[in-house]
Chains A and B, each alone.
Chain A
Amino acid sequence: MNKKENTTPDTYTNTTHKIGKITNTIAILLLLMVPAVITLVYGKDVKIQFSNTISAIITLTAIYGVVSLVEVVSFSPFLGSAGTYLSFITGNIMNMKLPAATNALRVNNIERGTDEGEVITTLAIGASSIVTTVILFLGMLFLGQLLVPIITGPALAPAFNNVTPALTGALAMPYFMKNKKLSIPTVFAGCLLYLLLGYSFMSAHYSYFMLGFIVISFLCYLLLYKVGYVKEEPKR
Chain B
Amino acid sequence: MKDYLSIANSPTMFLVCGIVILYVLCQSIFFMYRAYKRGKEIGMSAKVMKSTITGSALFSIVPSIPILIILVMLMSVLGNYFPWLRLSVIGSSSYENVAANIAARSFGLLSYTDSGYNSSIFISTMWAMSICILYEPLLVIFGQKSLDKGMTKLRKNKPVIYNLLIDGVFIAMMGWFCAPYMTYWTEKPEQILSLAALITAGIAALLFNWLAKKTGKHFLMEMSFPGGMLIGMLGSYIVNLFL
A173-211 residues with Cβ-Cβ distance < 8 A to B are 173-177, 179, 182-183, 186-187, 189-191, 193-195, 198-199, 202-203, 210
CB contacts (< 8 Å) of A175 on chain B: these are: 167, 170-171, 174
Smallest Cβ distance from A15 to chain B, in angstroms? 8
Closest residue of B by beta carbon distance from A143:
B68
Smallest Cβ distance from A79 to chain B, in angstroms? 10
B110 close to chain A: CB less than 8 A = no
Smallest Cβ distance from A92 to chain B, in angstroms? 5
Interface string of A11-53 (1 = CB under 8 A from B): 0110011011101111110111111011101110111110011
Closest residue of A by beta carbon distance from B40:
A119
Interface string of A67-88 (1 = CB under 8 A from B): 0110111101110011011101
Task: Report how far A44 CA is from B128 CA in the complex, Å.
Answer: 19
Q: Which among A60, A102, A174, A210 is the interface contact of B103 at CB below 8 angstroms?
A: A60
Q: Which among B69, B132, B162, B205 is the interface contact of A174 at CB below 8 angstroms?
A: B205
Task: Report how far A94 CA is from B180 CA in the complex, Å.
Answer: 15
Closest residue of B by beta carbon distance from A55:
B106
Smallest Cβ distance from A119 to chain B, in angstroms? 4
Task: Report how far A213 CA is from B178 CA in the complex, Å.
Answer: 13
A227 close to chain B: CB less than 8 A = no
Interface band, chain B: 35 or more
CB contacts (< 8 Å) of A148 on chain B: these are: 68-69, 72
A72 touches B57 (CB 8 A): no
CB contacts (< 8 Å) of B235 on chain A: these are: 166
B171 touches A234 (CB 8 A): yes
Closest residue of B by beta carbon distance from A222:
B164
Task: Report how far A92 CA is from B152 CA in the complex, Å.
Answer: 26
A168 touches B177 (CB 8 A): yes
CB contacts (< 8 Å) of B52 on chain A: these are: 104, 107-108, 120, 123-124, 127
A92 touches B93 (CB 8 A): yes
Interface band, chain A: 35 or more
Q: A76-B140, A187-B178 are in contact. Are A218 and B88 (CB under 8 A)?
A: no
Task: Report how far A34 CA is from B129 CA in the complex, Å.
Answer: 11
CB contacts (< 8 Å) of B83 on chain A: these are: 140
A108 touches B167 (CB 8 A): no
A202 touches B180 (CB 8 A): yes
Smallest Cβ distance from A132 to chain B, in angstroms? 5
CB contacts (< 8 Å) of A210 on chain B: these are: 173, 176
Q: Which 7 A-B residue pairings sit nearest by Cβ, starting from the closest?
A: A166-B232, A173-B202, A170-B228, A190-B179, A169-B201, A217-B172, A234-B167
Show 19 residue pairs from A and B whose CB-CB distance is below 8 angstroms, ordered by the A residue.
A20-B140, A46-B120, A49-B107, A52-B106, A56-B106, A69-B135, A72-B143, A95-B63, A99-B63, A104-B52, A113-B166, A127-B54, A128-B56, A135-B64, A148-B69, A151-B69, A163-B65, A170-B224, A176-B171
If A120-B48, A218-B172, A236-B167 are given as contacts, then 16 extra A-B residue pairs at C-beta distance below 8 Å, sorted by A number, are: A27-B23, A34-B82, A72-B144, A88-B137, A120-B39, A122-B32, A136-B87, A161-B236, A165-B194, A167-B63, A167-B232, A176-B175, A183-B174, A195-B186, A199-B187, A213-B175
